[in-house]
Structure 1
Amino acid sequence: MSVQRERTEWVPDGHEFALCLTHDIDRPYKTYQSLFYALTRRDPSHLLDIAPSRTPYWTFDDLLDFEREQGVRSAFYVLDEQSLFTDRSPREWLTMTGWQLYAGRYDIEDERIRDLLETLRSGGWEVGLHGSYESVDDRERLRSEKAHLESVLGEPVLGGRQHYLRLERPETWEHYRAIGLQYDATLGSPTEYGFTDGYRPFRPFDDDFVVFPLTVMEAALPDPAASFDRAWAACAALLDEAEANGAVMTVLWHPRYFSRDHPGYGRLYRRLVRAALDRGAWVGAPGELYTACVGTR
């Protein structure tokens, strides 16, 4: 396939490049992080966030308002993870690994999560699967998580991304394809950014199953609280490269990074989206781009 054909296949008419917006919903509530930040940042005000009335990581209202104002939609990948105290062995309750992987998670059956999913679905946002930590090589667990999410959402999901970007190649993609998912957005790095895995989505099995490489996760960028100019320069350079190569640039911003615990990241995201639109990019969710360019089975 020629370079020009690859460009036109994945970048909708009238646009020079595409920007796919994604958000992994890992921890919408601040729990043990309150104590962690109070100690590590020597700021006892974080302890106030333990109160049930305070939900600093629930940033969805402002995020959706911004995307709505810009006329764009993104993908939210929903995690159906095990709970530390009800699903895991007591031996893990006092381990750092146990707390990191399974504490402070959420139940997709909870009313507030159900309401959020309905807001996303009815508002035109994409809801996808965020495969749990142990599902990377467990097809039946993935199948169960997908079915559970779809039962709450009330409609099928198109694609997803694995938690912690855990990926077995090509086994995880084979699992995705086998359970009826049409794309994966896992391939990428939590510590490095760039077009390491190419400028466009690719088809690992030469069929309609597609991989969207992750260009940048917010935590891999220079800290905008320390130097917003450096962080923005990195984003601007990625936009330059995307525009020059007719690329599909995929970004990941976790919702909690729009909170005060991560200053500067929300501003950086808003500037990135506005700059892409100003450059004439197509901006939206991976599922939307997949449907426009490939269709659905």
Structure 2
Amino acid sequence: MEEEEKLGVTSTFYFLNETLPFRLFYPPNWRFSIGRYNILDRRIQESIRYLDASGWGVGVHGSFNSYKNENLLLEEKKVLEQILGHSVNGIRQHFLNLNDQTWRLQKAAGFKYDASYGYTNDVGFKEKKYHAFYAKQIEDYPIVPLALMDFCLMAKPDPWKAAMEVIVEAETNKACLVINWHQRTFNEKEFPGYGDLYFKIIRECQDRKATFFNVDQYVEQIKENRI
């Protein structure tokens, strides 16, 4: 937050409330069930309220199976709203999980936008979606595509070159460039270079006179027909 404040930008933080049971004898399940924070922890709740009160966006990071389960979506939204004391608008699904019913289920659960559309193993504008778009037969529910995700970008032979290619494409097409960075990757010891690259991207876009919004602000601008 401090570094973003220095640059005059804010992010939207999506908080995970994973309920997938831990299965000791099924190792592929472990990464979905352990090693996460507990959203009911007092310190986590205080951090969530602080972010919200300080102008950062706060949304739901839908649990692994919630993309196909309206009851999970409803419960996870309710828990975060109880922590905040007001409604929550946005969601990004864990692992960007989507199927042909996810957006309909999200809207039925009361969300106002989704931010899960993008590559899980590459960078760039998927299907050349440069701006928020609407799914067929689902009115007034913007889908905000992402173009750069930390792990995908850092897997490239030259991450900065790959980032610059996307930035130039965004500038050329007057696109909305959404960056998805996981909070834990700002730990320099465990993820060297990740945090530096995030802020380098922001500074590069500032040098190119980009306008910055967090995702919630961007959706608000869309709905008010300002952009």
TM-score normalised by structure 1 residue count: 0.71
TM-aligned CA deviation for residue 250 of structure 1? 1.1
- Once the two structures are superposed, what CA deviation does each residue of 1:172-222 show, in whole Å capped at 9, x if it has no partner? 000111111111011112211111231111011362210011212111114
Query: CA contact under 8 A between 2:15 and 2:58: conserved in structure 1?
Result: yes
Provide the residue aligned with 1:119 in structure 2: 50
Supply the distance in 2 between the matched residues of 1:266 and 1:156 (Cα, whole angstroms).
30
Provide the residue aligned with 1:34 in structure 2: none
TM-aligned CA deviation for residue 267 of structure 1? 0.5
Provide the residue aligned with 1:250 in structure 2: 178
Provide the residue aligned with 2:78 in structure 1: 147
Provide the residue aligned with 1:201 in structure 2: 132
Q: Which has the higher contact order (CA 8 A, sep 6+)?
A: 1
Supply the distance in 2 between the matched residues of 1:168 and 1:216 (Cα, whole angstroms).
21
Supply the distance in 1 between the matched residues of 2:219 and 2:145 (Cα, whole angstroms).
13
Provide the residue aligned with 1:42 in structure 2: none
Name which of 3, 9, 12 aligns with 1:75: 12
Provide the residue aligned with 1:65 in structure 2: 2
Supply the distance in 1 between the matched residues of 2:24 and 2:166 (Cα, whole angstroms).
41
Provide the residue aligned with 1:189 in structure 2: 119
Matches within 5 A, 1:16-35: none
Provide the residue aligned with 1:294 in structure 2: 223
Supply the distance in 1 between the matched residues of 2:103 and 2:180 (Cα, whole angstroms).
19
Provide the residue aligned with 2:198 in structure 1: 269
Provide the residue aligned with 1:128 in structure 2: 59
Supply the distance in 1 between the matched residues of 2:175 and 2:29 (Cα, whole angstroms).
39
Unaligned runs of 5+ in 2: none
Q: Does 1:159 align with 2:106?
A: no
Letter in 1 for 2:174: G
Query: CA contact under 8 A between 2:104 and 2:138: conserved in structure 1?
Result: no
Query: CA contact under 8 A between 1:108 and 1:152: conserved in structure 2?
Result: no
Per mean C-alpha deviation after superposition, the further-off stretch among 145-154 and 98-107 is: 98-107
Identity %: 35
Do the aligned partners of residues 141 and 181 (structure 1) sit closer, same or farther apart at CA in structure 2, a change above 3 Å counting? same
TM-aligned CA deviation for residue 286 of structure 1? 1.1
Query: CA contact under 8 A between 2:49 and 2:83: conserved in structure 1?
Result: no
User: Which SS does the other structure have where 1:133 is aligned?
Assistant: coil
Provide the residue aligned with 1:241 in structure 2: 169
- Once the two structures are superposed, what CA deviation does each residue of 1:105-160 show, in whole Å capped at 9, x if it has no partner? 22212111011101101110000011101111100111011001110121111111
Question: Which of structures 1 and 2 has the bigger CA Rg?
Answer: 1
Unaligned runs of 5+ in 1: 1-63
- Once the two structures are superposed, what CA deviation does each residue of 1:68-114 show, in whole Å capped at 9, x if it has no partner? 1111111100001126xxxx26xx12321231110122221211101
Supply the distance in 2 between the matched residues of 1:203 and 1:242 (Cα, whole angstroms).
20
Do the aligned partners of residues 206 and 133 (structure 1) sit closer, same or farther apart at CA in structure 2, a change above 3 Å counting? closer
CA RMSD of aligned residues (A): 1.7
Supply the distance in 1 between the matched residues of 2:76 and 2:154 (Cα, whole angstroms).
34
Number of corresponding residues: 222
TM-aligned CA deviation for residue 281 of structure 1? 0.8
Provide the residue aligned with 2:153 in structure 1: 221
- Once the two structures are superposed, what CA deviation does each residue of 1:2-50 show, in whole Å capped at 9, x if it has no partner? xxxxxxxxxxxxxxxxxxxxxxxxxxxxxxxxxxxxxxxxxxxxxxxxx
